[in-house]
Chain A
Amino acid sequence: MWFEQVLFFIAAAGALTGALGVVLLQNPFYSVLSLVGHLLGLAVLFLLLHAEFLAAAQVVVYAGAVMVLYLFVVAYIGGADEPLRPESGGVAVFGPLFALAVAVELCIAFISSGLQALDTRGADLGPGFGSPGGIGELLLTDFLVPFEAASFLLLMAAVGAVVLARRRRGLEEVGTGKFSTRDDPPTETLEVRV
C-alpha cells in the first residue's frame, strides 16, 4: 500500500505546514488562508481513515463557511500586521517550550499506552463505514441527546452573535426618530426590538 503512505505523508506535511503558517505568519489574512490549507490536508487524512462524510463536512462547512466568516471579519476590522513576539520575554520563551513539552508528553502517552491495536492499520471495516447513512443513524439513535444539545447550542450561539454584534446606537436612533412620533404608543415596543 505504498500509495496510501505517500498520500499520508503529503497530507500530513500539508497539515503541519498549514498549522505552522497559522502561528508564524504575521498578517491575519494569510493566517486564515493557511488554515484553509491545513483543513484541506486534514480532510485528506480523514479520507484515508475512511471517514468520508466527515471529510466532506470538513471541506464544505469548515474550509468553506467558517473560513469565509473569518475572512469577512479580517477584512472588516482590517488585518494589521503585528510583531510576532510580545516584548516581554517570558511568554516568548516559555510558550514554545511548553508547546514542545506538550507534544513530547502526548507522544510518550500515545506510544507507551500499551494499546495493541495502535500498531495495526485498524479493525476490519464493513462496507458502509463512515457513510452519511451510518452516521445519521447513529446521530438519531444512540447520540440523540448530544445531537439535540448541539443544535440547541447552535441556536444559542446565533442569538448571542446577534446580541453581540448589533448596533445599539443605531437602533435607538431608529426607535426615537421614526416610531416615537406616532400616536399609538402600545405598538412601538413591538417593532423596535428587532
Chain B
Amino acid sequence: MNITWYLILSAFIFAIGAAGVMSRRNPLVVLLCLELMLNAGNLALVAFSRMHGGEAGQVFALIVMVIAACEVVIGLGIIVAMYRNRLPIDIDEMSELRG
C-alpha cells in the first residue's frame, strides 16, 4: 500500500477525534477523543518512519504513547476528584478549576 493511504486515514481519524472533543460533554469521552487524535498522530509518525526507512518516527510514536498515558492518568484523577466533590460530570458546568 502507498504511504498516502495511511496518511489520509490518519487525517480522518484526527478529524473524528476533533469533532468528538468539540461536540461531546462528558469529560471521559472527551479524553477518549483526545486519545483518538494522539493515535492519528502516531499513525502518521509511523507511516513517515516507513517512508524514510528510519526508526526515529517509531521512537517518537512510543514517546507520544507515554505522553498519552500521563494525560489519561491526570485526566482521570481530575474526573474522580470531581465525582468525590459531587460536582456534575459535565464540561459545560465546569468553568473553574480550584483545588
Contact = CB atoms under 8 A, between A and B. Distances in A.
Contacts of A160: 73-74, 77
B74 A157 contact: yes
Contact of A50 (B29, B50, B74, B80): B50
B96 interface: no
B77 A150 contact: no
Interface residues of A, number: 89
A117 B2 CA distance: 9
Contacts of B80: 73, 76-77, 164-165
A115 B44 CA distance: 14
B1 A70 contact: no
Interface stretch (A119-127, A172-180, A186-194): A119-127
Interface residues of B, number: 67
B70 A86 contact: no
Q: Is the interface of A mostly helix, strand, loop or mixed?
A: helix
Contact of A121 (B2, B9, B69): B2
A125 B11 CA distance: 25
Given A103-B11, A125-B53, A160-B73, 15 more contacts: A19-B16, A20-B16, A31-B29, A32-B28, A35-B35, A62-B68, A69-B72, A76-B83, A86-B25, A96-B23, A102-B18, A106-B11, A120-B3, A135-B58, A164-B78
Interface of B: 1-9, 11-20, 22-26, 28-29, 31-33, 35-36, 39, 42-43, 46-47, 49-53, 55-56, 58-59, 61-63, 65-70, 72-74, 76-81, 83-84, 89, 92
